[in-house]
Amino acid sequence: MASSLSVLLPAVLRGEPRAIARAITAIENRNPAEPGEADELLRQVFPHSGRALLAGLTGAPGAGKSTLADSLAGLLRQRAKTVGIVAVDPSSPFTGGAILGDRIRMQRHHGDSGVFIRSMATRGALGGLAPAAADVATLLDAAGKQVVLIETVGVGQDEVDIVRLADVTVVILAPGMGDDVQTMKAGIMEIADVFAINKADRPGADRVEQELRAMLALTHREDGWSPPIVKTVASEGRGVEELWIAVEAFVSHLRDQDLLARKRALHLRRRLVDLLGERLLARVLAGLPEARLDEYVGAIAARRMDPYSAVEDMISGWEKR
Ligand SMILES: Nc1nc2c(ncn2[C@@H]2O[C@H](COP(=O)(O)OP(=O)(O)O)[C@@H](O)[C@H]2O)c(=O)[nH]1
Ligand SMILES: [Mg+2]
């Protein structure tokens, strides 16, 4: 392990695509109960991270997130910026859409080691997708990607958590998708620093914009920022430059107000607490045989025990080990 890591780490830091891909696979397969190679790797890459701009792209399935991420990558490459894309897509099975989509998208940037694209699907019971996505973003950052785009379906809490690790969040809407502004999740609306109304080539884009403006007029943000609305046609690259200008304007706003460092510290704090929770849970569960867990469940179901006492029991059992 140590020797393979000593080869892998410098290759990751040099931004070699195959090394990055291998490292991500190790992150995806890591077991929180048994810290191993991936954890050692993450420990060693971490000091090299913190330089990239992390931008979240979220919105309903089919809104055009992947297409937009692709167009943005193209624009950024023209400006000689290196780009990483992490697409978190719990809606597509791991062997299905996400991976196939990656292959198609990678072809466009084929032979350009300045772009790295990777999809992740839902992970198993332990760990969760948000921490894994955060680790992958850190890895791409350390691998020298100047901009890391994190694409995620804006539906559940897990997805909101993922976007919460970004410096700037773009919420993507599109006309005629049943994702009317009124029905958008409040949580998603709150995290939008910039709105993209994609598929502006389709009828209804103006109506979406009007609804959005009406809603934004009622909201107030503590950081004094008014989220701009940019219309895009991602499939043709239209509006993509304007979108990036809006993203950069928000980041400048954060910098000017001394808010960027504070926002990042807040994100690190959340990751730290999440990691603590993940590791503690893994350890407590590792010392608890399935049969013992079943006994608790049986006792609770029969109302001989309550879940609160059971948890206290499990924790004190672990502490005594
Ligand atoms: N008409 C039109 N179609 C688009 C536009 N952007 C993306 N699409 C198409 O919408 C579909 C879904 O796009 P995709 O990027 O996969 O959406 P995602 O699920 O949000 O990642 C694809 O067939 C795209 O080609 C656009 O601006 N206009
Ligand atoms: Mg997508």
C-alpha–C-alpha distance, residues 173 and 200, integer Å:
10
**Residue 199 tokens, joined:** 């598929």
> Ligand 1, closest atom to CA 87?
21
State the distance from the centre of ligand 2 to the C-alpha of 66, rounded, in angstroms: 4
- pLDDT at 5 (0 to 100): 87
Ligand of minimum distance to the alpha carbon of 85: 2
- pLDDT at 36 (0 to 100): 81
- pLDDT at 98 (0 to 100): 53
C-alpha–C-alpha distance, residues 193 and 190, integer Å:
8
Q: Whose CA is nearest to atom 28 of ligand 1?
A: 199
- pLDDT at 30 (0 to 100): 79
Neighbours of 2 (CB within 10 A): 7
Pocket test for ligand 1, best of 67, 85, 99, 171 (most atoms within 8 A of CB): 67
For 229, phi then psi, to 5°, come to -115, 125
- pLDDT at 27 (0 to 100): 87
- pLDDT at 127 (0 to 100): 55
Smallest CA-to-CA distance from 39 within 23, 20, 16 is with 23
Ligand 1: residues whose CB is within 6 Å? Answer: 59, 61-67, 198-199, 201-202, 233-235
Give 15's contacts (C-beta < 8 A, 6+ positions apart). 82, 113, 116, 143, 144, 145
- pLDDT at 94 (0 to 100): 45
C-alpha–C-alpha distance, residues 163 and 149, integer Å:
10
State the distance from the centre of ligand 2 to the C-alpha of 172, rounded, in angstroms: 11
> Ligand 1, closest atom to CA 60?
20
- CB 196 within 8 Å of CB 68: yes
- pLDDT at 109 (0 to 100): 75
- CB 224 within 8 Å of CB 191: no
C-alpha–C-alpha distance, residues 262 and 285, integer Å:
34
- pLDDT at 217 (0 to 100): 87
Which residues of the chain carry a pLDDT beneath 50? 1-2, 93-96, 124-126
Q: What is the 3-state secondary structure (H, E, C) of the chain?
A: CHHHHHHHHHHHHCCCHHHHHHHHHHHHCCCCCCCCHHHHHHHHHHHHCCCCEEEEEEECCCCCHHHHHHHHHHHHHHCCCCEEEEEECCCCCCCCHHHHHHHHHHHHCCCCCCEEEEEECCCCCCCCHHHHHHHHHHHHHHCCCCEEEEEEECCCHHHHHHHCCCCEEEEEECCCCCCCHHHCCHHHHHCCCEEEECCCCCCCHHHHHHHHHHHHHCCCCCCCCCCCEEECEHHHCECHHHHHHHHHHHHHHHHHCCCHHHHHHHHHHHHHHHHHHHHHHHHHHHCCCHHHHHHHHHHHHCCCCCHHHHHHHHHHHHHHC
For 34, phi then psi, to 5°, come to -130, 80
How many residues make up the chain in this entry? 321
What is the per-residue pLDDT across 215-259, written as a single tens digit (0 to 9) for each? Answer: 888 888 888 899 999 999 999 999 999 999 999 999 999 999 999
- pLDDT at 159 (0 to 100): 65
- In this structure, is the dihedral angle defined by the CA atoms of residues 120, 125, 128 and 132, taken in order, positive or negative? negative
- pLDDT at 9 (0 to 100): 95
